[in-house]
Structure 1
Amino acid sequence: MDQGLAAVIAGVAGMVGALGGAVAGGLAAVRGARVGAVTGAQALRDQVKDQAATEHAHWLREQRRAAYTLFISAAQLAQEKAMNFAVDPSDDNMDELHDAVADLASLSGSITLIGPESIQRSADRVIEAAGILEGALYATPRRDEGLPQISEESSGAYNLFFGLRTTFVSEARAVLGAV
């Protein structure tokens, strides 16, 4: 074999090797780019899901905070109207107490929607206690002198209502993450 032919064979072999290496390198680069793109897309998808979950949790917490605040304010108003009626059992105070208890009960629907169930049960207990307090105060005999007339039953009903309202506040704070 002469040197020229050997050089040509070596050149062709080198070129085939270089081409093979280039093709293999190109395929590896394409595969790497594809894996990188898939990994990047998955990471982006996960980030979007996490962000959506965080935003939903924040939205839900704010909705709960608003509903719980309205409920607590209505419970405080009912408590105030109960005390007003106990001190002055006039028809006007009776109507105001009834309206306050009805308003309190009407707010339970929004709490039912946003939950959780433990808060709904707590709200239901507060509403039930408000109804018991209202009934106990209505059943208390009125005095003509206008002096407060508070029976043992209405005093117990008031304490029950106040205790359950306080429990609701504590449970609401726990749900909202407040200490």
Structure 2
Amino acid sequence: MYIIPFVAQAAEKKKDGFEFTEAWGVTIASAVTVLGMILAAWIAYRAGRRQVADQGLIEHRHWRRQNRLEAYKQFMIATDGFTEAMDKWRTSRNTTNAGRALEALAAAEAGIKLSGPQSLHSHADKVTKAAGAFYLMLRRPTLMPVIVPPQQWVQLSRDVIDAQNAFVSEAAKVLDDPDL
């Protein structure tokens, strides 16, 4: 009889299949913790990358807006310089200052074309063409001093001013829209 209970205990301990022990519980809990940490690290990594990308986009938009603002300002200064040179021409009849002012205006237009956007290129081109037409009228070859009829002077001046106003209006729209 003494042997039979011992055999019965041995038979009870030997079971078929998987036996879930405390060691397996610790192992599974550790694996779930490691997977959770990996998932949390991946989410933090992606969030950090997104934040850096968003900040980079904001900085780029700010840089682009500042460059455009500077180019637009230089263009306006050059346009004003041209109109001042035209006013000085009325008293001196010297086209040298007007020629330099037109060259400065063309250089400022190149700055507009570099900084964009495309919608402003045509407006800047209209200002430069109106100024160029004004300048060419003064440079036309004549034997006598150039006399510009007042109506033509006013019309040429108005063409430059109207083109400049259209440019300013479009530039304001561009500067207000961060996506352009």
Q: TM-score range by the shorter chain?
A: 0.7 to 0.9
- 1:3-42 matches, within 5 Å, as 5=9, 16-42=20-46
Instruction: Name the count of aligned residue pairs.
Output: 164
TM-score, normalised via structure 2 length: 0.80
CA distance in 1, matches of 2:83, 2:67: 24
User: In structure 1, what is the Cα distance between the partners aligned to 2:21 and 2:165?
Assistant: 83
Q: Could you tell me which residue of structure 2 aligns to residue 117 of structure 1?
A: 118
Is 2:64 the counterpart of 1:60? yes
Aligned to 1:96: 97
Distance, in Å, in 2 between the alignment partners of 1:165 and 1:24 is 74
Q: Quote the residue 1:155 is aligned against.
A: 154
Question: Which amino acid is the alignment partner of residue 162 of structure 1?
Answer: I
Q: Which runs of 4+ in 1 moved over 6 A?
A: none
2:28 partner amino acid: A
Amino acid at match of 1:88: T
Q: Cα deviations across residues 106-153 of structure 1 (Å, max 9, x unaligned)?
A: 12222212110111221111111110111233459747xxxx844433
Contact 1:67 1:110 in 2 (8 A): yes
Q: Distance in 1 between matches of 2:150 and 2:136?
A: 12
Question: Equivalent residue for 1:12?
Answer: none
Which of the pair has more CA radius of gyration?
A: 2
Give the AA of the match of 1:49: A
Which residue identity does 1:170 align to in structure 2? S
The structure-2 alpha-carbon separation of the partners of 1:149 and 1:110, relative to structure 1 and needing over 3 Å to count, comes to closer
Q: Does 1:77 align with 2:78?
A: no
Q: CA deviation at 1:18?
A: 2.2
Unaligned ranges ≥5, structure 2: 14-18
**Which AA in structure 2 matches 1:172?**
A
TM-score by length of 1: 0.80
Which letter maps to 1:34? I
Could you tell me how far apart the structure 1 residues matched to 2:149 and 2:83 are? 14
Aligned partners of 2:98 and 2:154: how far apart in 1?
Answer: 16
Q: Distance in 1 between matches of 2:133 and 2:161?
A: 12
Query: Does 2:49 correspond to 1:45?
Result: yes
AA aligned opposite 1:163: D
Flag the 1:165–1:129 CA change in 2: closer, same or farther, 3 A. Answer: same
Cα distance in 2 for residues equivalent to 1:96 and 1:167: 25
Rounded Cα–Cα distance in structure 2 between residues aligned with 1:109 and 1:160: 21
Query: Residue in 2 aligned with 1:105?
Result: 106
1:129 correspondence with 2:133: no
Identity %: 28
Task: List alignment gaps of at least 5 residues for structure 1.
Answer: 10-14
